[in-house]
Chain A
Amino acid sequence: MKQFTHFLEGFGSAVQLLFQSARFVGTLPRQRARFIDQCYLIGYTTLPIVAILCFFMGSVLALQSGYSMENFGAKQFIGSLVGLSFARELGPVIVAILVAGRVGSAITAELASMKVYQEVDALVTMNIPPARILVLPRLAAVLVMMPVLAIIGNLIGWFGGAVVCKYVESIAIEPEAYFSALRRYMKFKDVGTGLMKAEIFGFVVVLICCSIGLNTRGGPREIGASVTKAVVVSLISILVLDYFVTKALM
């Protein structure tokens, strides 16, 4: 019962933070510098790990599907399988998980530390709402960067699959055939659905991480506890949301 109350409190506080931030959307043009900083942190610093992970996920997916589909004589469909899996599911989920681990944890640590060391209280006494300068630029930046990361993740994942298909002897499918199969069964809607999911996951992750960071109470030890909580809650939220968003967008 107590945990359910905590869950409701956390949910309520995240929704409240969302509405507080929305009140200041008009101030975004004045906060260009903060917005660009956050785009750099969320997008550019996450890109290398997105690239590495998506490349190997694409490779493994092609390898596994090559092994299984050979029995049915359906190797020519590997391109379609890797393409659709990445566009609709793996791309947005992997990118969101990486953003939660790489960016979300950093956001929570920074905001929790600001809260514990009274920097957030100082902002409140200066009549500068933390939602305006600490949360809004991050939410805006993640909305811009998530589709970019998801598109790059998709392209690199597809490329990883193509490399395996060409160089693994048991599969041996030429890139032309691989990409032709990928294009044949892929609709624009599939990519659009994936990007929409990435957008929703990224936004929710950053909102959760900001909310948990700003609600940190106690001393420095609580900063670590908040970071752990933020990452765990984000990961669970991504996977739970994934089911409902996928169903809604079908």
Chain B
Amino acid sequence: MNPPIHRNPITAVESPAVGVTIDGLTKNFGTFQALKNVSFTVEPGEIFVLMGPSGSGKSVLLKHIVGLEAATAGRVLINGQDATAEHTLERIRIALVFQAGALFNSLSVYDNLALYPREHRFGDEATIRDKVMRALQILSLENSAQKFPSELSGGMRKRVAIARALVMEPQLMLYDEPTSELDPVMSATISEIIATLKDEYHVTTIVVSHDRELALGIADRVGILMGGELVFLGPPASLRQPADPRIADFFHPRIDLKNPRFKTLET
């Protein structure tokens, strides 16, 4: 079967969507094992949501996909190319939306978005301006172009980070906790944006999140990491009645004041 066709949200140029293969990925930080032989595949054009408790290795895995971390063992392949190879980022456009936005604080919103096309010489300033304004319009940010990141709310910073990623015309979008620290309305808006990019443009998407609503609402498939191990891989519907007690506890946590962990807190 041919992969779905990715349509560039900015230029409408079409190209095959990309797939990601995680193959036996292991990462050690000293004696601590953050990832333990993790393997899965993200199909071209799908939304894959990676969940798990804090410290389970989700963000570390995301950093491996974009080449920010080197694996202790195993590998990450993007369209069959090693993610750590220098040419991969030149051939495949990958955008990562960081948890805190990672906007350049010394640049205005407009310049944050224009940095990538300027540095990679995507046409003259007028062409770049069109791209940037189109991305800002998609995220309803056209009135904030001249503001600086310090003047924006948390939700706006996330939207600017997504707009900056869009200007890169990505074939693969990675989101690190896109709805954390946001109110429910803004969380829903961000979820809609992620789903729209997938539905209309077939951007392959990997989302790292704690957000159960987001996972059940937009994911094609969900992976759950616990203690660096992949303990679940499947469609979100299977998570409504999980058989594994660890996953059930993660999805439907019960507060039991007689639990030993509360006793520890009392002392």
CB distance from A175 to the nearest CB of B (A): 47
In the complex formed, the residue of B with least CB distance to A27 is B119
Q: Does A128 contact B (CB under 8 A)?
A: yes
Bound Cα distance from A124 to B102, whole angstroms: 12
Residue of B nearest to A31 (CB): B119
Q: Which of B72-114 contact A (CB under 8 A)?
A: 89-90, 94-96, 98, 100, 102-105
Instruction: Give Cα A126 to B116, complex, Å.
Output: 7
Q: In the complex, what distance in Å separates the CA atom of A114 from the CA atom of B103?
A: 10
A128 touches B115 (CB 8 A): yes
Contact status B67-A124, CB under 8 Å: yes
B67 CB contacts on chain A under 8 angstroms:
124-125
> How many residues of A are counted as interface, with CB atoms below 8 angstroms from the partner's CB atoms?
12
Which of B66, B103, B119 contacts A128 (CB under 8 A)? B119
Chain B interface residue count, CB cutoff 8 Å, equals 20
Contact indicator A125/B68 (Cβ below 8 Å): yes
Q: Is the CB of A127 within 8 A of B102?
A: no
Partner of B66, one of A114, A119, A125, A133: A125
- The contact of A126 among B63, B103, B105, B119, by CB within 8 Å, is B119
Docked CA distance A128–B102 (Å): 14
Chain A residues with CB below 8 A from B68, complex form: 121, 124-125
Determine whether the beta carbon of A118 is less than 8 Å from that of B120.
Answer: no
Which of A117, A125, A126, A127 lies at the interface centre, i.e. has the most chain B CB atoms within 10 A of its CB?
A125
Given A125-B94, A127-B90, do A119 and B102 touch, yes or no (CB 8 Å)? yes
Question: If A117-B100, A118-B100 touch, does A125 touch B95 (CB 8 Å cutoff)?
Answer: yes
The answer for the CA separation of A117 and B100 in the assembled complex, in Å, is: 8
Q: Does A122 touch B at the CB level, under 8 Å? A: yes
Q: Cβ of B168 < 8 Å from any Cβ of A? A: yes
The CA of A186 and the CA of B115, in the complex, are separated in Å by 50
Contacting pair B98 A122 (CB below 8 A): yes
Do residues B102 and A122 form an inter-chain contact, with CB atoms below 8 A?
yes
Expressed in whole angstroms, the Cα–Cα distance for A126 and B104 within the complex equals: 13
Interface residues of A (CB under 8 A from B): 114, 117-119, 121-122, 124-128, 133
Interface residues of B (CB under 8 A from A): 63, 66-68, 89-90, 94-96, 98, 100, 102-105, 115-116, 119-120, 168
Please, could you name 20 A-B residue pairs with CB atoms under 8 Å apart, sorted by A? A114-B104, A117-B100, A117-B102, A117-B105, A118-B102, A119-B102, A119-B103, A121-B96, A121-B98, A122-B96, A122-B104, A124-B68, A125-B95, A125-B96, A126-B95, A126-B115, A127-B120, A128-B119, A128-B120, A133-B119
